Structure formats: structure tokens, C-alpha cells
Chain A
């Protein structure tokens, strides 16, 4: 069974640009969540999608948005990039139980210059 796949793995942008990150969950998983990981801050929750609907949202500004497609693939977008957006963005999918293990992708490392 293929794991969670995130693309791109690395990207460099400049302030003011926008970026779109993609996540393909494990086959059959309908829940996809996104986390921002920065040194010292741990994993901060961005949002979670289930069956194309945003079910939960963290405390991030509106510049951060996401969506989920009918095949459960998800994208997140960050507009008007700021230096502080530099981070590792992790996607995680969850199986049918919805109370159990999060399966993480390897992340997309974003550097904003």
C-alpha cells in the first residue's frame, strides 16, 4: 500500500508570491489534515478535510487555504507569502476509524526569501 505522498518536496519562493502544495493520501483514507512544523513550535494544525469538506480549521490567517478533491487528494495554498511562512508542511491521512493513527507524508519544505 502506497504511503502519503506530498509534492513538491522542496521549494523556494519570495515574499508576496503564492504557493500550492499537494497531498495524496493512502488509498481509501478520506481524512486529510495539514500541519505546519517549525523549530520550537512543534506541529501546528492548519485544517482537516473529510469527503471534500473542511471539518476543522486551526488558528492561521486567511492566507492559508485548502481543498480536497473527490479522490481525497488535497491541496493547500498560501498566498502573499511572508518570511515567517518558511516551514515544513506536513500532510497526514487517517483511516476509517477517525480516532486513530495519523499517517504522515514526508512533507514539503518551503523557504520564503
Chain B
């Protein structure tokens, strides 16, 4: 089955700096890669996703890049703000009703 690895497990940045979280996957058939944000005590929520036919996607301060050859994808958050503090999970799926495989999460702390 698929194996998704996520690094780092914890990340602290100063407010205004950028944060990068990286994930690797093993199944070359995976074609959908979402990122979820889970604030303390709340449910995970989708913040951005990318499909295998796209190399990069951006939404305001958040961007995701995908390298299919190397089987890795990354989340980039620019101009970080305290409200970006949360746990971020990457995931991979083959789509079409197949299950999602999640990384172990990155706890991001933005220091004011």
C-alpha cells in the first residue's frame, strides 16, 4: 500500500517568515494530494490540494508543489501569522473512491 512520510514533525517560525512542510509518497498511482489543517481541538479542514497533472498551485499565502518523478510534494506558507499555528497533515490518494493515506502531521507554531 501507499506510505506517506511527512517532515518535520514540529516547526517553529517567527511571524512573517515562511514555513515549508515536505511529504513523500511511495505509490506512483497516487494522483491527488490534499493538505489539511487541524487547529487545537478542532476538526481537520482542507486548505489546499493538488492533482498529479499540475506541478504547482497557489492560494494567497499558501502554495503546494508536486514533483511526480521524485514522489514528493510540499506545502509553503508565506508571511506566516499566529493564526497559522496548527497541525498540518499531507495526504495521498489514488482517487476514484480509494482511501486516503495521511502523513503523521507537522505541528507549526508561529511566534508573534
Contact surface of A with B, Cβ cutoff 8 Å: 4, 31, 33, 35, 40-45, 48, 50, 55-56, 58, 90, 98-102, 104-107
Specify which chain B residues have a CB less than 8 angstroms from the CB of A41 in the assembled complex: 104
Contact A40 B100 (CB under 8 A): no
The verdict on B89 contacting chain A, using a C-beta distance below 8 Å, is yes
**B96 at interface by CB-CB < 8 Å:** yes
Asked if B14 is at the interface (CB within 8 A of a chain A CB), the reply is no
Interface contact A45-B43, CB-CB below 8 Å: no
Interface pair A43/B89, CB less than 8 Å apart: yes
B residues engaging A (CB < 8 A)?
6, 9, 32, 34, 36, 42-46, 49, 89, 91, 93, 95-105
A99 touches B105 (CB 8 A): no
* B34 surroundings in chain A (CB, below 8 A): 101-102
Sample 13 A-B pairs with CB under 8 A, ordered by A number.
Answer: A4-B43, A31-B97, A40-B9, A42-B89, A42-B105, A43-B89, A43-B91, A58-B99, A98-B97, A101-B34, A102-B34, A102-B44, A106-B42
Residues of chain A within 8 A (CB-CB) of B43 are 4, 90, 104-107
A98 to B45, CA, bound (A): 17
Q: Known pairs A58-B99, A99-B96, A102-B36. 18 more at Cβ < 8 A?
A: A4-B43, A33-B100, A42-B89, A42-B102, A42-B104, A42-B105, A43-B102, A43-B105, A45-B99, A50-B97, A90-B43, A90-B44, A99-B93, A99-B95, A101-B46, A104-B45, A106-B42, A106-B43
C-alpha spacing A55/B98, complex, angstroms: 8
Whether B100 pairs with A45 at a CB distance below 8 angstroms is yes
* Shortest Cβ distance from B43 into A: residue: A104
Q: Which residue of A lies closest to B97 (CB)?
A: A98
Q: A43-B44, A107-B43 are in contact. Are A98 and B95 (CB under 8 A)?
A: yes
The 8 closest A-B pairs by CB, nearest first: A99-B95, A42-B104, A43-B102, A104-B43, A56-B99, A98-B97, A101-B46, A42-B102
Residues on A with beta carbons closer than 8 Å to the beta carbon of B45: 104
Tell me which residues across on chain B come within 8 A of A90, comparing CB atoms. Answer: 43-44
